[in-house]
Structure 1
Amino acid sequence: MSRTRKSNRNKKPTTVEIVLDSSDTDTVTDSDSDSDSDSSDLHSPISELFRHNVSKHRSCWRHVFSSSIVQKKRITLGDIKEVKKSSMCLLECPPRFTRRERSKRFGKKEEVKELMRPHKVAERAVSRKREKLDSGAFMRYFENLWNSFSEDKRTSFAYLDCLWFSLYLQQNIHKELKRDIKTKVLKWIKNKCIFSMKYVIVPIVCWSHWNLLILCHFGESLQSETQRPCMLLLDSLQGADPGRYEKYIRKFVLDIFMEEGRPEKKDLIYRIPLLVPEVPQQRDDVECGNFVLYYINLFMEGAPENFSTEGYPYFMKKDWFSPKGLDYFCQKLYSSAT
């Protein structure tokens, strides 16, 4: 019997509704995603996703779908394929090869064992000090660090969730979804009242690398002669050109000013100094998250009462701290989180 195949020419794109399994995490409702009452990033709608394994990494296709879960969006299979191509996740399980392929690719049994090791086992095999922090782990350690400072010290500081900048920056997604995400991120930032703070800590994770952006005195006049707003970008891998972030940071800051309804003009906002001090550099390719946490700790300890470009770079120099100091800090921080 001959069979005829139906034409798919007029078939509409298949859509997939992403729904969280109730056994994995709590249900995220519309009221959760639109809530303005949360004063802590650690309880914000996007941080709610840390309890689900799809957001256990940096800005990648998993984060795109995680944000879609919150937004209750429908995504076509074509969108899924395109986003996966452009925003790969570095925490994907290693590929499986046949015995013949493994023998061709690797000559040592140890290498084959390492490749075939299940992802979770491999993750536990890496010491915490050498582990490359994902967004969930980073925020857990940051929460302990934040709470270690006194109430008086914290009154001069505010911080943004480490995912907000990367969510704002998402490019390879549908325009409507991108606009919705930007709107929500800017709304969450507005609720932080950053213009009433001396310093705003903004951890950035983009292109699988951690940086620290610090907004200084954003409540001051941009035309002040004594105390003008400025920005600090602390990068532990300056050989990778931290200047590549500048256009994204300036657009991010401009939108924050616009969302707040500030009177400053666009040209003045774009002239806010972005300073990149020569700080201690990481020793390998996995320490960037640890460096950002230590930058935050030392900056909060020694931040001047009034930061000025005349006194720059203050303590932020190449000899700011030693490798031993960083290792001791990480050991202490990790032990407090267990």
Structure 2
Amino acid sequence: MPKRKQREILNVEDFCAAAAGTNRRRNNNATFSKHPNTLDTNKFERCFRNIWRDLSEDKKASFTFLDSLWFALYMKESLREKVLNWIKKECIFSKKYVVVPIVRWSHWSLLILCHFGETKSKTRTPCMILLDSLHMANPKRLEPEIRKFVVDIYNAEAKERPEKKPATSQIPLLVPKVPQQRNGEDCGRFVLYFTSLFVENAPKNFSTDDGYPYFMKEDWFCPQDLDSFCSRLRLEN
């Protein structure tokens, strides 16, 4: 993005929208979704924000989320510091769960950071959960980028967090087997539904000692549930 254009951006939302628009005009860029029937980043962001719009105060105290393009923008070295400054303002270490949409290689997946501001106990496990509706695409290939992202978040917050930070290399990245998409274009819709269901059903405290929460399974929801959810989104947006 030209420097002059960057100076004209007044806020995070405008900057994200401008970055998304610029990249969608580049035919050789595979970061953003391009399939004609796939949710574009603008509509995804609107739907994603609507999920959080009517959260109860209890939910707002436990959850926060990162904008849907922040991870993709973080991967651009020239924008990395700016993205990390945005993330610092979200106070993610005061939340039980941080929801991070990821779009890479024209595919959406969902990263959830659990109990990042806490130490491991019998009831709480600091961990990362990656929900992906296309396991055949090998979601673990994102792990190096995710771990670098997490390390940089910790380093960016070091001055504000005098306590000893946990060893990020020891925080597990979990990839549960969840319902899978039936075509090559539904990944964005799956991520929105993953988000909605996780926010609704997440346990008060997350621990891996007993395995994944009961709802995070291959039969977590059926195709008809997803279709109904998507229909509601279309009506509301």
| Poorly superposed stretches of 4+, deviation over 3 Å | 16-20, 27-30, 49-52, 83-92, 223-226
CA–CA separation in structure 2 for the residues paired with 1:329 and 1:89: 23
> Could you say if the C-alpha distance between residues 136 and 156 of structure 1 is closer, same or farther in structure 2, counting changes exceeding 3 Å?
same
Residues 110-132 of structure 1: per-residue CA shift (max 9 Å, x gap): xxxxxxxxxxxxx6xxxxxxx30
Runs (5+) with no aligned partner, structure 2: none
Amino acid at match of 2:94: S
**Partner residue of 1:281 out of 177, 180, 184:** 180
- Structure 1 residue 334, shift from structure 2 partner: 1.5
3-state SS in 2 of match to 1:231: strand
Q: Is the 8 A contact 1:158 1:200 kept in 2?
A: yes
Runs (5+) with no aligned partner, structure 1: 1-15, 21-26, 33-43, 57-61, 66-82, 93-122, 124-130, 171-177
> Could you say if the C-alpha distance between residues 91 and 313 of structure 1 is closer, same or farther in structure 2, counting changes exceeding 3 Å?
closer
**Partner residue of 1:167 out of 73, 97, 114:** 73
> Could you say if the C-alpha distance between residues 145 and 212 of structure 1 is closer, same or farther in structure 2, counting changes exceeding 3 Å?
same
Q: Is the 8 A contact 2:132 2:139 kept in 1?
A: yes
Deviates more, 1:321-330 or 1:144-153: 144-153
Amino acid at match of 2:8: T
**Partner residue of 2:138 out of 232, 241, 245:** 241
**Partner residue of 2:86 out of 180, 188, 195:** 188
**Partner residue of 1:155 out of 53, 58, 61:** 61
1:29 matched to 2:8: yes
3-state SS in 2 of match to 1:306: coil
Q: Is the 8 A contact 1:145 1:333 kept in 2?
A: no
Deviates more, 1:308-317 or 1:240-249: 308-317
**Partner residue of 2:97 out of 199, 202, 212:** 199
Q: Is the 8 A contact 1:211 1:288 kept in 2?
A: yes
Instruction: Report the equivalent of 1:271.
Output: 170
Amino acid at match of 2:96: K
**Higher relative CO (CA 8 A, sep ≥ 6), structure 1 or 2?**
2
CA–CA separation in structure 2 for the residues paired with 1:217 and 1:190: 16
**Partner residue of 1:55 out of 2, 5, 20:** 20
> Could you say if the C-alpha distance between residues 90 and 312 of structure 1 is closer, same or farther in structure 2, counting changes exceeding 3 Å?
closer
> Could you say if the C-alpha distance between residues 226 and 284 of structure 1 is closer, same or farther in structure 2, counting changes exceeding 3 Å?
same
Instruction: Report the equivalent of 1:8.
Output: none
Higher alpha-carbon Rg: 1
TM-score (norm 1): 0.63
Residues 220-246 of structure 1: per-residue CA shift (max 9 Å, x gap): 02x545523101000000001011000
Instruction: Report the equivalent of 1:253.
Output: 150
Residues 141-172 of structure 1: per-residue CA shift (max 9 Å, x gap): 112121133232222100001111111113xx
> Could you say if the C-alpha distance between residues 150 and 182 of structure 1 is closer, same or farther in structure 2, counting changes exceeding 3 Å?
same
3-state SS in 2 of match to 1:320: coil
CA–CA separation in structure 1 for the residues paired with 2:105 and 2:92: 26
3-state SS in 1 of match to 2:80: helix
CA–CA separation in structure 1 for the residues paired with 2:125 and 2:33: 40
Amino acid at match of 2:95: M
Q: Is the 8 A contact 1:202 1:214 kept in 2?
A: yes
Amino acid at match of 1:143: R
CA–CA separation in structure 2 for the residues paired with 1:272 and 1:90: 29
In the alignment of these two chains, the number of paired residues is 232
- Structure 1 residue 133, shift from structure 2 partner: 0.9
Amino acid at match of 1:248: E
Give percent identity, aligned residues only.
48
Residues 248-291 of structure 1: per-residue CA shift (max 9 Å, x gap): 100100110111105326xx211101110000000000100000
Q: Is the 8 A contact 1:160 1:203 kept in 2?
A: yes
3-state SS in 1 of match to 2:128: strand
**Partner residue of 1:323 out of 223, 226, 236:** 223
Instruction: Report the equivalent of 2:51.
Output: 145
